[in-house]
Amino acid sequence: MKKKVSAAAVTVAAVALVLVASAAEASHGHLKVGYYEKTCPGVEKVVKYHVAKAIEASRGSGAALVRLIFHDCFVRGCDASVLLDPTPANPATEKTAPINIGLAGFDVIDAIKADLESRCPGTVSCADIVVYAARDASSLLSNGHVHFPAPAGRLDGAVSLAADAQRDLPDSTFTVAELIRNFRRKNFTVEELVILSGAHAVGVGHCSSLRARLAAPPQQIVPAYRSLLAAKCGAGPDPVVPNNVRDEDPKAVAAAFPSFVKKLRKAKDFLDNSYYHNNLARIVTFNSDWQLLTEKEALGHVKEYAENGTLWDEDFSDALVKLSKLPMPPHSKGEIRKHCRFVNGHHY
């Protein structure tokens, strides 16, 4: 339907464009700790309240939030593009990409956003919520050992394409050379690749993400662990298994991997340097994890972080801050979304 456009409407539209443009400009390199101190006091307490509540209900939701910052920031920078739901106009947003299998935590982000919108409408970006939530989740899952002040002031992007996620995110089938190249493209070093991979101490993966491991030779995966995974993966079309063997179900471990029973933990999804111990012992889920042992520098860092958990806590904190600073592509438009799943002006 064609409408007659009034002069007033044109003026309003022009003003709105200027506002969007200046807001987008402000997004470059102006991240600041305590960014919402004046405009939305208490914002970080609100986020932490919701993250703590979600983790109390299920520690797995904490793991989901730690993965979410990576999958948001590696694709078009930290702009909450990963949160956008598919619509008829854009049916293939990032979250529909196969590489984003199992991505979760969206409900926690929605709850935080709803709370913040009622306190300070139109003020806190979804991109900043993703970063705060990942910070709080890693802190809570590590009993406070991972902690850092999180700079904020990001804007939410309007573009979200599954093809971008597929191109920019690493796949579990990658070789170490491919992993290094993938991280290099985002200005992350081999050391940072190793540091960030330690996040696989928590959470779960689908069997389809580790299929090749079920046929990998003993130098790559302990046969008893491989049998355990094979048994669990045979139990359904595409079940999930814990990333960290110490979070495994005791019955399955007793049956396939009895020597490991004593290492099982009651507290699941504890974020520490156990990933590096597991990796050196060839008991990790993904090919991409094992691959880190096949390159000299990466292997050196795996050993370094296996030896010093405090060092990993600190370096992981720093690496998350660096991740949180990945910018949107130049000249991107930004806004503060009203609802994290839709760009503003979207008609429901």
Ligand X SMILES: *[C@@H]1O[C@H](CO)[C@@H](O)[C@H](O)[C@H]1NC(C)=O
Binding positions for Ca(2+):
72, 75, 77, 79, 81, 94, 249, 272
Q: Which of 28, 50, 71, 346 is catalytic?
A: 71
Pair 131, 124: CB distance under 8 Å = no
Q: How far is CA 233 from CA 207, 209, 285, in A?
A: 6, 11, 12
Q: Give the length of the chain.
A: 348
301 noted as active-site residue: no
Burial label for 189, CB within 10 Å (0-12, 13-18, 19+), is middle
How near is the Cβ of 209 to ligand HEM at its closest, in Å?
3
Nearest in space to 148 (alpha carbons), one of 161, 138, 163: 138
Site for ligand X in 251-290 (CB under 6 A): none
Residue 70 CA to chain centroid, in angstroms? Answer: 4
The CB density around residue 32, as the number of other CB atoms within 10 Å, is 10
Cβ proximity to ligand HEM, 158 vs 195, nearer residue: 195
Options 39, 143, 187, 344; binder of ligand X; rule CB under 6 A: 187
Contact status: 63 vs ligand HEM (CB under 6 A):
yes
Binders of ligand HEM among residues 80 to 109 (CB under 6 A) are 101-102, 104
Q: Would strands 204-206 and 240-242 be described as parallel, antiparallel, or unpaired?
A: antiparallel
Q: Is 64 in the site for ligand HEM (CB under 6 A)?
A: yes
Binding mask 299-338 for ligand X (x = CB under 6 A): ---------x-xx--x-----------x------------
Q: Which option in ligand HEM, ligand X, none does residue 95 bind, with CB closer than 5 to 8 A by kind?
A: none
Question: Sign of dihedral through CA atoms 110, 113, 117, 121?
Answer: negative
Beta-carbon count within 10 A of 331 CB: 8
Least distance (Å) between residue 17 CB and ligand X:
26
22: Cβ contacts below 8 Å, ≥ 6 apart? none
* Contacted by 154, from ligand HEM, ligand X, none: CB < 5 to 8 Å by type: none
Residues of this chain, 206-235, that bind ligand HEM according to CB under 6 A: 206, 209
- Could you say whether residue 286 binds ligand HEM (CB under 6 A)? yes
Alpha helix locations (H) across the chain? Answer: 7-26, 43-57, 59-73, 106-119, 126-141, 162-168, 176-184, 190-197, 223-233, 250-256, 274-280, 287-291, 296-307, 309-324
The binder of 209, among ligand X, ligand HEM, none, by C-beta within 5 to 8 A per type, is ligand HEM
Sole binder of ligand HEM in the list 67, 135, 154, 301 (CB under 6 A): 67
Binding site members for heme b: 200
Per CB under 6 A, 186 contacts ligand X: yes
- Closest to ligand HEM by CB, 157 vs 203, is 203
- Residues between 148 and 177 with contacts to ligand HEM, criterion CB under 6 A: 170-172, 174
Cα 313 to Cα 336: distance, rounded to the nearest angstrom: 32
Query: For binding to ligand HEM (CB under 6 A), which residues are involved?
Result: 60, 63-64, 66-67, 70, 101-102, 104, 170-172, 174, 179, 193, 196-197, 199-200, 202-206, 209, 243, 286, 288
Query: For binding to ligand X (CB under 6 A), which residues are involved?
Result: 186-187, 308, 310-311, 314, 326
Which residues are catalytically annotated? 71
